[in-house]
Structure 1
Amino acid sequence: MEYVIEMLDIRKEFPGIVANDQINLQVKKGEIHALLGENGAGKSTLMNVLFGIYQPEKGNIRVQGQDVHITSPNIANELGIGMVHQHFMLVDTFTVTENIVLGSEPTKGLKVNISEAEKEVQKISDQYGLRVDPKALVRDISVGMQQRVEILKMLYRQAEILILDEPTAVLTPQEIDELMQIMKSLVNEGKSIILITHKLSEIMQVADRCTVIRRGKGIGTVNVDQTTTNELASMMVGRDVSFKTEKDQANPKDLVLDIKDLIVKDNRDVDMVRGLSLNVRQGEIVGIAGVDGNGQSELIEAITGLRKVEAGEILLNNESITNFKPRDIYEKGLSHIPQDRHKYGLVLDYPIAENMVLQTYYQKPFSSKWALNFKEIYNYAKKIIKEYDVRTPSESTLARSLSGGNQQKAIIGREIDRSPDLLIAAQPTRGLDVGAIEFIHKKLIEERDKGRGVLLISFELDEIFNLSDRIAVIYEGKIVAEVKPDETNHDELGLLMAGSNEEKAEVKHP
């Protein structure tokens, strides 16, 4: 059989680590081929080799049956290979069209022919059902639309083989469904797709075949219609994985968080949180369910001191923290797993060790008088790295060098290790594989059982149902209903999230 892509015995090394160890990958024309593995297993590295960003120490690559040497992304593009990276590479202040044609601009005389480019972008967008406005500024469009722009960049350059690296990591459920349809239409047009992911449900939904790698080694390739999520999970992590977190009945005690009639504006001076009231008790997990954009981000930022409260009150352990500075709020017993790990969770160009003490570097034993105690900082980081299985060559490695999932595990370890009275967990397992998700879910349950209050904000309804003792539904900046997980279902919750029951909803605080 002739494959459009063959990667044979690929070996890629970095200082102190073998990222790819004799891996084989063979992709057929017109298929969606999933590349599955844990965080840090070597998936993105392998695709960066295919795209010419990295050069392998050993191994051969064939495209359309021909041996090739891909020494740069430009050569990959010439061979018909395109890649959408996990973190988009777009210029915010450029239009959609300007981003798409960047580096391949059509000219009219000495000028760039933008009107001609806009027509071509519109034509491709219509052909594949991408529904993108060629004239829109990238900064004004949603994350899901930005991803379509990245796909259009590849199609504009006539790519036949599309690499999508964790494409659903930052998308809402609706945007994920739309992307799946786009992927199917692309392969119907004869394209071939390599889908890097650790989300088993998505593989079962769209992939034809799946290659699994674990800790840099190839485990095998299977036909998706002949396997199960449990088998794939076992191949990925090397053991059986539980998809349901076992937990005892919650035993809530005193109020740890009490929010009363909160009003918070966004950057455009629009009320995004509108008279919201909510509480969390010691020893319980309260999950907030809602479609993205209904005030979740503004609510989290208000509680953590990152955004001004216009009206209302936030009490932590019966003490007002309304409009306190973030450091003062942290010192009063709050920890925060942020939904955007790059923007709010890490300083990417600091070593991972120094990221572990961002909130505590000025406290003993990490500093004395005016000097930092780097020995204590690095010993502390070693403890977090070991306990939370953060895959990194060393604690001196820059945070930017870690995979997204390992960055997330480091943040979660740092925040939980502080033993807070209230833990705000916003999208805590975004970008994590099933093994890591299982581990983090157990950690959150452990915190609850130690008497901590946990406020969970997640777009993954399975996660909300799995972890929450109470579910608060947010719609247009208000809590419109509170339900027990065992007294509702996904469909009913979906209707509440869409606001269908706003008028009739009765909010009951325990």
Structure 2
Amino acid sequence: MDATNVKNLDLSGMAVAMKGITKRFPSVIANDNVDFFVKKGEIHALVGENGAGKSTLMNQLYGLYTPDEGEIYINGERFIFKGPRDAIDAGIGMVHQHFMLVDNQTVSENVVLGSEPRRGPFNLFIDSGKSRKSVLELSKKYGLSVDVDAMIEDIPVGMQQRVEILKILYRGANILIFDEPTAVLTPQETGELFKILRVLKENGKTIIFITHKLNEVMAITDRVTVMRLGKVTGQVDTKDTNPRQLANMMVGREVLLRVEKEARKPGKTLLEVKNLHVKDNRKLDTVKNVSFSVREGEILGIAGVAGNGQTELIEAITGLRKAESGSITLMGKDLTNKSALDIRESGLTHIPEDRLKRGLISQYPVYYNLILGKHNDKPFASEGFIDMKEVKKFARYIVDTFDVRPKDIEILGGNLSGGNQQKVVVGRELSTIPIEPKVVAISQPTRGLDIGAIEFIHKTILNMRAKGIGILLVSMELDEIFSLSDRILVFYEGKIMGEVLPDEVNREEIGLMMAGHSKAEVVKERG
């Protein structure tokens, strides 16, 4: 690592200065002469569409990539990072979107992993007591409440994120990079994270906040840098801007920030679920006597805090989990405990919440990922042989229609950004080729997507509704549930607490039902 004092460059008050950063990959220039400056002690948002170059820029700041051109300065000194260890030594830490924790170790063991305090002759032994004490002190100082003795696999996602933050604080980070930190959090967990970020700021930390959620930018940040197509399109103080201006800078055009939904009268019942019971992986009851229906041309939204049975419900409906009892029918055909392929071929498709585990094969190119589940059907296959000409023609159509970036159908699915992976899955499942689905079960359709992609996918969902397709929508985004749904079911501990219409309740009342209050109790409290 080379470190020299900066000359002829005013960097007073700057924690980070990245000048003229260019990073090229075989199919794209990810960063094109980017200048990025972050003041000491501020919360600085880095926003842009998926594929705009945000994560690539931060991966260079963290030492995962080396710039092809440009310079990086930390607190006024120039650094050339040859790997993450160099960045960590310079006081930089990064909390990735997908957590890097060891499930079968405790919280304290994960925090100190690789930097464990030692004891005994020649420091042969790990000092577990000192590790535990250090983590407790750190968590108390920054308000990061965790159970230091709990196994990672036994704690919720919000607490796992706190463990990731503690890991980088333990290693002395003063500049903290958060990559889409709320993508996997509930609204309640997001609120807790923001409290933590404010405490970190009060303790002199500098925070870089990568996000696509403009309401979060306005709520938590001091300044904003906007990127589009690998370049910076602007840098503004948060107090001097608004979501509409930021959206325009991100996308390069006016963006509808609210869903415009036409009134529709639902048709006949398509999907019917009766008295469904489902167990989770621990063999505990997680869906308890649930009944509902989805009709032609309607969107039935399911609201609830993560972990209350929504995942298991969708898995049972789509053939990924066995139902213990009850029935699932599609247009009168019994699909209970049928295979996922049988269910798909019956006209019920699925956009899974975990795109990496259920939606993609990371080592397959985009064009193969776009025909998964359709690969035996015409026009993609005939007499047991895949027609690559038709496959690639379809792939190019989906990549263009859903604006998947880069527009390279040969790239491996695992090499796409998270948001572009989601576009591939959504594009495949909402496509009417080779057959139009009758019902689509959608879990977290816009998780990790930018505002332009969210607008497009919302329009696509509404277009399918207009065609008479029934949609079962599970989302942690209450705004999404309210704006898209015709009816809303609220889940709590595997049960339906009530069915409501979007215009008859507010967020606070939905929140009460998500916490275990019945619809009757909420109505009574309203008076």
Fold in common (TM above 0.5): yes
How big is the shift at 1:503?
6.0
In the alignment, what sits opposite 2:170? Answer: 156
Deviation at residue 271 of structure 1 after TM alignment: 1.1
Q: 1:459, CA displacement in angstroms?
A: 1.3
Residue 118 of structure 1, CA deviation: 1.2
Following superposition, the deviation at residue 293 of structure 1 comes to 1.7
Which residue is equivalent to 1:99?
Answer: 110
After superposition, what is the alpha-carbon deviation per residue over 1:349-405, rounded to whole angstroms, capped at 9, x for unaligned?
Answer: 111111111101122232333433323222211111011111124101001111111
Q: C-alpha distance in 2, partners of 1:467/1:393? A: 29
| Aligned partner (choices 77, 80, 85) of residue 66 of structure 1 | 77
Amino acid aligned to 1:17: V
Q: Answer whether contact 1:378 1:395 (CA < 8 A) is retained.
A: yes
| Matching of residue 179 in structure 1 with residue 193 in structure 2 | yes
Q: Does structure 2 conserve the Cα–Cα contact (< 8 Å) formed by 1:9 and 1:58?
A: yes
Aligned match of 1:434: 451
Deviations 1:482-508 (A, max 9, x none): 1211222212222222222256589xx
CA distance in 2, matches of 1:497, 1:104: 41
Alignment of 1:83-482 (within 5 A): 83-108=94-119, 109-418=123-432, 419-482=436-499
- The 2-side partners of 1:86 and 1:290 are apart by 22
Please, what TM-score do these two structures have when normalized by structure 1? 0.97
Question: Partners of 2:157 and 2:137 in 1: how far apart?
Answer: 22
Q: State the partner residue of 2:43.
A: 32
**How many residue pairs end up in the alignment?**
506
- Of stretches 362-371 and 49-58 in structure 1, the one that deviates more from structure 2 is 362-371
Q: Match for residue 49 of structure 1?
A: 60
Contact persistence 2:22–2:68 (CA under 8 A): yes
**d(CA) in 2 for partners of 1:43, 1:122:** 33
Cα distance in 1 between the residues matched to 2:159 and 2:504? 36
SS of the residue corresponding to residue 35 of structure 2 reads strand
> Match of 1:486, SS?
coil
Output the CA distance in 1 between the equivalents of 2:440 and 2:370.
Answer: 17
SS in 2 for 1:222: strand
Matched, 1:7 2:18: yes
Preserved contact between residue 301 and residue 485 of structure 2 (Cα < 8 Å): yes
The letter for the 2-side match of 1:428 is P
Q: Deviation above 4 Å: which 4+ runs of structure 1?
A: 502-506
Q: Answer whether contact 2:512 2:522 (CA < 8 A) is retained.
A: no
Is the CA contact 1:169–1:431 (under 8 Å) kept in the aligned structure 2? Answer: yes
Superposed CA RMSD: 1.3
Q: Is there any run of 5+ residues in structure 1 with no aligned partner, and where?
A: none
Question: Are the counterparts in 2 of residues 17 and 393 from structure 1 also a CA contact under 8 Å?
Answer: no
- Does the 8 Å CA contact 1:481/1:505 hold for their aligned counterparts? no
Q: Secondary structure at the match of 2:323?
A: coil
Q: Write the letter of the residue equivalent to 2:505.
A: T
- Given that 1:209 and 1:222 are in contact with CA atoms closer than 8 Å, whether structure 2 keeps it comes out as yes
Residue deviations 1:224-252 (CA, integer Å, cap 9, x gap)? 01111111111111111111111211121
> Is the CA contact (8 Å cut-off) linking 2:27 and 2:406 kept in structure 1?
no
Asked if 1:497 corresponds to 2:508, the answer is no
Alpha-carbon distance in 2 for matches of 1:143, 1:110 = 34
Closer/same/farther in 2, CA of residues 219 and 505 from structure 1, 3 Å limit: closer
